[in-house]
Chains A and B, each alone.
Chain A
Amino acid sequence: MSLSRAEVEKVSLLGRLQLTPAELDLMTTQLSAVVGYIEQLKELSTDDVEPMAHAVPTSNVFRDDVVTPSADRALILSNAPHADGEFYLVPAVLGE
């Protein structure tokens, strides 16, 4: 199966990647090859197979509802590309 350039472009918006026209072309070819390869799974009948989301079958792992100290604000904001000492800053969000 091959992907269209338009599909790849749509996926690039969903995945929040800005691709150049050349990258879009290359990505379309390469993704089509990989998708073509993984399509071989269709050969297998898996109707009665339980999906395996976890490698280890465990359940009910909980934490007690006990407060632990939060991180120092200066430390947690120190990695932010843009902050004012109190908040993270992003370009004005319009609409929503």
Chain B
Amino acid sequence: MTDKPAPYTIVIGLETHVQLQTATKLFCGCSTKFGAPPNTQTCPVCTGHPGTLPVMNRRAFELSLQTAAALNCNIATYTKWDRKQYYYPDLPKGYQISQYDLPFSYEGWLEIGDPKGKFEPKRVRIIRAHLEEDAGKSMHDEHAGKADSKIDLNRTGTPLLEIVTHPDLRSPAETKAYLTELKLLLTHLGVSDCNMQEGSLRVDANVNLHIETPTGKVATPIVEIKNMNSFRAVEKAVAYEAERQYSVWQETGKKLGDPGVFKQTRGWDDTANVTRGQREKEESSDYRYFPDPDLVPVTVTAEQIGAVRQSLGELPAQIRTRLEVSYGLTPYDSDVIVNQGRTFITYFTTAADIAGDGKTASNWLQQDVLRVMGERNLTIESYPVPAAALGDLLKRVRAGEVDTSRGREVLQRMFDTNETAAEAMQALGIEQVDESALMALCEELVAANPKVVVDVKAGKMQAAGAFVGQAKKKNPNANPARVRELCLEIIAKLP
């Protein structure tokens, strides 16, 4: 890619479907647990047997309200359920229970920014968030058209939140940032695990281009991209689609609103890295929505809405600000820590409070704790060194009781043995060296290394490193920084 600015603006809106973390489905008591054998988590209700009726899951509605509040949405005091009608084998009732004209929440926003400053922070406006039931899964044969398709209805009826943004996103990076921030918010609230591999977060993107031409601005036809299975795929698909639409426009000149130009659906092919047109029938969009007579409306009072907003507590964006203000972290560092989730944040603040320094704690958590967690495939919950113990170690590092590199050995030992910092230091024979003994050691080293002294005197300060190495050999507990300092002081006093 060249650095030349693109001759167009990409305009992106997202529709995100998020599975809510309820124990049961939206309208029946079947479990929503992922990974069960096919068709073992179904019942007459979610398989649409004649005569069955849906009854709304209270928890799903509560989780939805929390999400809407966290997305700064207006919450409707009256909401109802509609049937969206279409035929597909994984939709056993022939309709999906959803919300059409009166969604439970609307007009919110989510603020996104880039810790590295690649784009200006902005509020992405949310058009609406509504609740609906998921469909089942259809598995098609590789050699399409040959074998039967297989239908698994375990997922049918799982509560889904659909969150629709305005077309406010302007680049693949902003798109990814929105998704990252949304995922962070939803996992922080515990409303969804947002696991894209398991399908608990699914994204469709509406993309088109605004192109400046000598005769004014033109917009290309809108394309909806589906089948993106990771945030990376979304980024790539949006970028690909922008270039594709630009070249199509150069070829055909077709614009949004031209006669015969409709919204098109394209699927992302993650191996070929292209979007491909999907076949659609003209009638398939006539969903014949109408209010579901089997479900009654839901009303929410202003007090209830207030209580939900109160109960949210501190949200990720606020936590980031707190870490920057109270712990002196950079936006980048606070972003890394907050992205690790609630438990990690608490781990950090506990360690930082005891250590008395946020920056040190942040460095150790990122360079040591996160690295080991990655290598050993641990979560912060299963990481064996308690936050307070790490904080204690860092306090000692800051006080000079142990230097950074030996501190790492101590942490390793704490990790292996569950010892406290003091115990591990003792076991490793780490003790503070008496200042006079250290002075004697340094005088000895200066006397024994006249060539180094000459170099230092000539201004080659890095030559003093040799003293550190030799001091360590003579006494492993010698603090390297102090050794260096003392040696330089002695040399400075020499004639």
Q: Which residues of A contact B (CB under 8 A)?
A: 10, 13-14, 16, 53-54, 58-68, 70-71, 73, 76-77, 82, 84, 86-96
Contact A76/B39 with A68-B30, A87-B152, A88-B89 known, Cβ cut-off 8 Å: yes
Contact A92/B140 with A14-B286, A71-B42 known, Cβ cut-off 8 Å: yes
B47 within 8 A of A: yes
Residues on A with beta carbons closer than 8 Å to the beta carbon of B43: 68, 70-71, 76
- Please state if A86 and B140 are interface contacts (CB–CB under 8 Å): no
Q: Which residues of B contact A (CB under 8 A)?
A: 22-24, 28-31, 37-44, 47, 55-61, 80, 87, 89, 138-141, 144-153, 278-279, 283, 286, 288, 291, 293, 295-299
Give the CA-CA distance A82 to B148 in the complex, in Å.
10
- Please state if B298 and A60 are interface contacts (CB–CB under 8 Å): yes
- Please state if A93 and B39 are interface contacts (CB–CB under 8 Å): no
User: Closest residue to B37 on the A side, CB-wise?
Assistant: A86
Nearest-neighbour CB distance to chain B for A14, whole angstroms, equals 6
Residues on A with beta carbons closer than 8 Å to the beta carbon of B152: 87
Tell me which of B55, B87, B151 contacts A88 (CB under 8 A): B151
- Please state if B24 and A65 are interface contacts (CB–CB under 8 Å): yes
Contact A95/B278 with A70-B30, A70-B31, A87-B39 known, Cβ cut-off 8 Å: yes
User: Closest residue to B85 on the A side, CB-wise?
Assistant: A14
Residues on A with beta carbons closer than 8 Å to the beta carbon of B139: 87
Residues on A with beta carbons closer than 8 Å to the beta carbon of B60: 65
- Please state if B89 and A93 are interface contacts (CB–CB under 8 Å): yes
Nearest-neighbour CB distance to chain A for B341, whole angstroms, equals 23
- Please state if B278 and A96 are interface contacts (CB–CB under 8 Å): yes
Give the CA-CA distance A68 to B141 in the complex, in Å.
33
| 9 residue pairs from A and B, CB less than 8 Å apart | A16-B87, A61-B296, A70-B30, A71-B43, A84-B150, A86-B37, A86-B39, A92-B144, A95-B279
Nearest-neighbour CB distance to chain B for A74, whole angstroms, equals 10
Nearest-neighbour CB distance to chain A for B44, whole angstroms, equals 7
Nearest-neighbour CB distance to chain A for B159, whole angstroms, equals 10
Residues on B with beta carbons closer than 8 Å to the beta carbon of A91: 148-149
- Please state if B288 and A67 are interface contacts (CB–CB under 8 Å): no
Nearest-neighbour CB distance to chain B for A84, whole angstroms, equals 7
Nearest-neighbour CB distance to chain A for B88, whole angstroms, equals 8
- Please state if B140 and A93 are interface contacts (CB–CB under 8 Å): yes
Q: Is the interface of A mostly helix, strand, loop or mixed?
A: loop
Residues on B with beta carbons closer than 8 Å to the beta carbon of A86: 37-39, 150
- Please state if A58 and B296 are interface contacts (CB–CB under 8 Å): yes
- Please state if B89 and A64 are interface contacts (CB–CB under 8 Å): no
Residues on A with beta carbons closer than 8 Å to the beta carbon of B288: 14
Give the CA-CA distance A18 to B399 in the complex, in Å.
84
- Please state if B55 and A62 are interface contacts (CB–CB under 8 Å): yes
Give the CA-CA distance A70 to B82 in the complex, in Å.
26
User: Closest residue to A84 on the B side, CB-wise?
Assistant: B150
Tell me which of A67, A71, A89 contacts B150 (CB under 8 A): A89
User: Closest residue to B159 on the A side, CB-wise?
Assistant: A65
Residues on A with beta carbons closer than 8 Å to the beta carbon of B61: 62
Give the CA-CA distance A86 to B39 in the complex, in Å.
7
Tell me which of A54, A62, A70, A93 contacts B149 (CB under 8 A): A93
- Please state if A63 and B55 are interface contacts (CB–CB under 8 Å): yes
Q: Which of A58, A59, A77 has the most CB of B within 10 A?
A: A59
- Please state if B58 and A63 are interface contacts (CB–CB under 8 Å): yes
Residues on A with beta carbons closer than 8 Å to the beta carbon of B298: 59-60
Residues on B with beta carbons closer than 8 Å to the beta carbon of A61: 55-56, 295-296
Residues on A with beta carbons closer than 8 Å to the beta carbon of B153: 88
Give the CA-CA distance A63 to B42 in the complex, in Å.
17
- Please state if A92 and B40 are interface contacts (CB–CB under 8 Å): no
Give the CA-CA distance A63 to B87 in the complex, in Å.
28
User: Closest residue to B47 on the A side, CB-wise?
Assistant: A76
- Please state if A62 and B58 are interface contacts (CB–CB under 8 Å): yes
Residues on B with beta carbons closer than 8 Å to the beta carbon of A68: 24, 28-30, 43
Give the CA-CA distance A60 to B286 in the complex, in Å.
29
Q: Which of A60, A66, A76, A93 has the most CB of B within 10 A?
A: A93
Residues on B with beta carbons closer than 8 Å to the beta carbon of A10: 283
- Please state if B39 and A62 are interface contacts (CB–CB under 8 Å): no
Residues on B with beta carbons closer than 8 Å to the beta carbon of A53: 80, 291, 293
Q: A13-B283, A61-B55, A82-B148 are in contact. List 12 more A-B contacts (CB 8 A).
A: A53-B293, A65-B22, A67-B24, A68-B24, A70-B40, A87-B152, A88-B89, A89-B149, A89-B151, A90-B148, A92-B141, A92-B147
